[in-house]
Amino acid sequence: MSRVVIIGGGPGGYESALVAAQLGADVTVVDTDGVGGSAVLTDCVPSKTLIATAELMTDMAEAAELGIEARDHQGDLSTTLEVDLAKVNARVKRLASDQSADIARRLEREKVRVVPGRGLLESPGAVVAELADGGTETLTADAVLVATGAAPRTLPSAVPDGERILTWEQVYDLTEVPTELIVVGSGVTGAEFASAYLALGIPVTLVSSRDRVLPGEDADAAQVLEDVLTRRGMKVLGQSRMESVTRSGDVVTVRLTDGREVQGSHCILALGSVPNTAGLGLEEAGVTLDDGGFVKVDRVSRTSARGVYAAGDCTGVLMLASVAAMQGRIAMWHFLGDAVAPLDLKRVSSNVFTAPEIATVGWSQRAIDAGEIQAETVMLPLRGNPRAKMQGVHDGFVKLFCRPGTGIVVGGVVVGPRASELIHPVSLAVAESITADQLAQAFTVYPSMSGSVAEAARRLHHF
Ligand SMILES: Cc1cc2nc3c(=O)[nH]c(=O)nc-3n(C[C@H](O)[C@H](O)[C@H](O)COP(=O)(O)OP(=O)(O)OC[C@H]3O[C@@H](n4cnc5c(N)ncnc54)[C@H](O)[C@@H]3O)c2cc1C
């Protein structure tokens, strides 16, 4: 029986453990923080749970347009909704730990052994576990998978204190509502937290070192989001590089490199992630890291050391839970001799959970504009969609890209409420090389937002 040892119990680790167990291997997962990893305990699951509350607040704030009025018990119009952050955060933490416990039970059912502790690579065939309750255990392996994830990046000039200067892992300890929140960093994580806390009724300033928010996303989508956020009252400071974050009593000061200062009650640092790869014996065992400390892998998750695979954020390939899980599964399929296709990033759909959401798949507008691929483009605003009108949705669009000759759909962007769900037909089209005509011919429900996906596809029709 093949022995597989996995270091790290996040989606990269536990999903591969399930595949390896299914294929008959003897599997051990060494994990420091609890299975589910950062994805379940501090990152995806908590943030999306917080955002679920924020979404409800957004809907309620816009209810008046649809004819709903809130009145207090004296019958007067009541216009303020308040969030009980202690309650929200308690729900977030409960849900995260329940999810971790669910995964632990599943692993147990599949006979995967979970060893609480820190795993170190002694050699390509051996992992030493520094056990949580003391002592060490050496685990020999035919294959090792490194899936140790990443941690929030901090700077010596902006040190989190866990009370008012916070990493994204620390926000769920807040029991009182910030009176003025500053979010530093306008990538996906910064934008999601800024959008969520704004929806919860908290004044937010977003400090962005670039021209606009979400510099890595579709420019039209980022523009829609920035317009909506500023319309709702967010202060977005573009071209503003943070130099330092300091605290004096209840006041947090963010100093910018041009000398300006922004003050608030709390600050969230969203400065990107650093891989958890230092001090694990990786390089000593022959695993090559890049300049940023990420593990170098090929498309079937092999590292430079024979028998050592790596998956997830520690590889920096695409920092998504779905990609981590797929890299891990691919590693196990490859090692255990099952059918395997190399990782194809052009099929990955991803979503920014702001209000509105931004979902993308396949080739990007940027790659098309740069001439990396030839594609025809159509962009259809959602405001013409009958369902959007009924629901009071004014912002957002569907964008589709298809190859000029064949009409094969190669990518798309959806901006709108629940864009994460609406992108799926486009993902299917990209994954299965479906043409715009085929996408257009499938029935959509009337009225529905997905009608706009089909309509966009119809507009790409050639005679
Ligand atoms: C705020 C936020 C929101 C996000 N939201 C989403 C989202 O909505 N959708 C999405 O797809 N992605 C999202 N992501 C990204 C996603 O969280 C990561 O891509 C995912 O967690 C990567 O999984 P992983 O298995 O590589 O690592 P992790 O989930 O970080 O798990 C790694 C685990 O290994 C443990 N570990 C580290 N070193 C060792 C060691 N030496 N020995 C034993 N154990 C060790 C860690 O403690 C951790 O538990 C989000 C990220 C952030 C920051």
Task: Return the ligand 1 atom nearest residue 328 CA.
Answer: 25
Atom of ligand 1 nearest to the CA of 118: 42
**Other CB atoms within 10 Å distance of the CB of residue 344:** 11
Chain position carrying tokens 């959401």:
357
Q: Is 11 a pocket residue for ligand 1 (Cβ < 6 Å)?
A: yes
Q: Is 148 in the pocket of ligand 1 (CB under 6 A)?
A: yes
Q: How confident is the model at residue 463 (pLDDT cuts 50, 70, 90)?
A: low
User: Higher confidence at residue 462 or residue 376?
Assistant: 376
Q: How far is the CA of 306 from the centre of ligand 1 (A)?
A: 25
Give the span between the Cα atoms of 151 and 375, in whole angstroms. Answer: 37
Cite the beta strand spans of 343-456 per DSSP E: 349-352, 357-362, 376-381, 397-402, 409-416
For the segment 60-72, the average pLDDT, to the nearest whole number, is 88
- pLDDT > 70 in the chain, percent: 100
Place of tokens 């809907």: 59
Ligand 1 atom with minimal separation from the 119 CA: 42
Q: Which helix (H) or strand (E) holds 115?
A: strand 113-123
334-366 pLDDT per residue, tens: 999 999 999 999 999 999 999 999 999 999 999
Q: Tell me if 168 CB under 6 Å of ligand 1.
A: yes
pLDDT in tens, 407-455: 999 999 999 999 999 999 999 999 999 999 999 999 999 999 999 999 9
With beta carbons less than 8 A apart as the criterion, state whether 174 and 204 touch.
no
CB distance 51 to ligand 1 below 6 Å: no
319 lines ligand 1 (CB under 6 A): yes
Q: Is the beta carbon of 15 within 6 A of some atom in ligand 1?
A: no
Question: Closest Cα to atom 52, ligand 1: which residue?
Answer: 43
- Tell me the pLDDT tens digit for each residue of 13-65: 999 999 999 999 999 999 999 999 999 999 999 999 999 999 999 999 889 89
Judged on CB neighbours under 10 Å (0-12, 13-18, 19+), 46 is buried
Ligand 1 contacts CB of residue 320 (under 6 A): yes
Instruction: Name residue 4's beta-bridge partners.
Output: 27, 143
How does the average pLDDT of the chain come out, rounded? 96
CA 312, 317, 320, 323 dihedral sign is negative
The pTM of this model reads 0.97
- Whether the CB-CB separation of 311 and 144 falls below 8 Å is answered with no
